[in-house]
Amino acid sequence: MKPQGIVGNQSEVTEFIVQCFSNAPELQPLLFVIFFLIYLLIVTGNTTICATVAADPHLQTPMYWLLSNFSFLEMSYSSVILPKLLTMLVTQHKTISTTGCKFQLFFFTVFTCIEFFLLTVMAYDRYVAVCHPLHYHSLMTLRHCAKYIAAVWTFGFLDPIPLNAIIAKFSFCSSNQIDHFYCDVTPVLKLTCSDTFTLLLLVYMNGAFLFLSTITLTCISYILIIRTIQGIKSSEGRKKAFSTCASHLTCVSIFYGTIFCLYMRPRAAYEPEKDKFFSLLNIVLVPSLNPFIYTLKNKEFKIHHRKVGECLALSLDLQIYSRSQHILHITLPNMQPTHPEWISLWSVIAEPPCEHHPPGTLRPVLNIQGLETLIRNWFVLAQKYLNLGKNFNLNVNKSDP
């Protein structure tokens, strides 16, 4: 029986059969649930980082711009592989067209190259922050950071083009079984009937240059960082300086470790099951851990999330009436906010609702000096944090003793 995707006497392959994890068919439903939850975690966690950096003016710094780009990259990196894998697991239709396979391979190599460059720039950012703190704001301005980011993405897209241009011209024959869960370079090249000498030479030369150059620059940055940290006299200062680099160093170690195990080995040492394992680490581990690695002990993120929580609590106490009149009636908060900038009105007791004062309206209050000023200040801050806009006016009722 002729394998699916092979047509005519020429045995031209039009689609590949991706074997995924065929040695454990009974685990396919469980694998789908696991990978779906992991992908959901990757998208949710990294989107949260991107949204947090974009929304908080205090996080508009080079370090957080780079982190936001890294989160977006990790999300894109996984999105090239996992959605297709999930579809194959749930439908059991484990095929991909040769064109789709080439596109998947192209974007996978693009995002891999971008990650090499981006991690190197992030290492340089940490080097400047630790070794030249007084000059950090002049050496790493937002403008400089934007240029670095643009260069990273530009070179990341350009670098794999020659490799993928050659693969695009390859023809595939005989077997169409990819012993992997996505289209990676090594398993795809095993299926081609074209001459791969030139391509393999290009792959190893480009891969070695990319790997060695970026890891060398990263190591130089960290050697200088360690020397600077050793010169700090106080243990608290050393701990604080190292903590700024620990998250990045963790991601670098995992990424370079898996890349080395995957691609820096002789082709004769290719073992499909080991490659699947290291590929899973590369595609799943770093993207899913990234939000936790960078945010669990990050003071700025904790402050932002506390603000968001308080905004959500206060937003439950804000009700809008008479929209045509653009009047905002404020219900008194039922809890005292912890943020020091917010003026708490929780202790001010309003009269019970009546027909003249609908629920959510501040009723006349006697003998409270400066109440109107307090309310207006509180409203301005609430308006700022809740993004209520400028079309609302505060209606304050007050009466004399």
Grouped pLDDT means (10 residues each) for the chain, 401 residues: 44 79 76 92 90 84 92 92 90 87 93 95 93 89 94 95 88 80 86 82 89 95 91 82 84 90 71 82 85 75 64 43 37 40 35 42 41 56 51 42 36
> Which three-class secondary structure state does DSSP give residue 205?
helix
Give the whole-angstrom CA distance, residue 127 versus residue 175: 50
Go through the domains of the chain in sequence order and give each one's CATH number.
6-297 (1.20.1070.10), 306-394 (no CATH)
- At residue 9, the 3 state secondary structure works out as coil
In sequence order, what are the beta bridge partners of 13? 6
- Determine the pLDDT at residue 11: 60
CA distance 255 to 119: 9
CA torsion angle for 232, 237, 239, 243 (degrees, to 10)? -110
Helices marked H in 92-195 — which ranges?
98-131, 136-139, 142-158, 161-168, 185-189
Query: Cα(218)–Cα(222) distance, rounded to whole angstroms?
Result: 6
The reported pLDDT for the residue numbered 179 is: 85
User: What is the token pair recorded at 96?
Assistant: 């991909």
Q: How far is CA 193 from CA 16, 159, 186, 203, 315, in A?
A: 14, 25, 14, 18, 64
Q: What tokens appear for 130 in the block? A: 């630790």
Question: Which residues is 394 bridged to in the sheet?
Answer: 328
Amino acid at 242: F
Q: Please report the pLDDT score of residue 145 as a whole number.
A: 94
Can you give the pLDDT at residue 189?
84
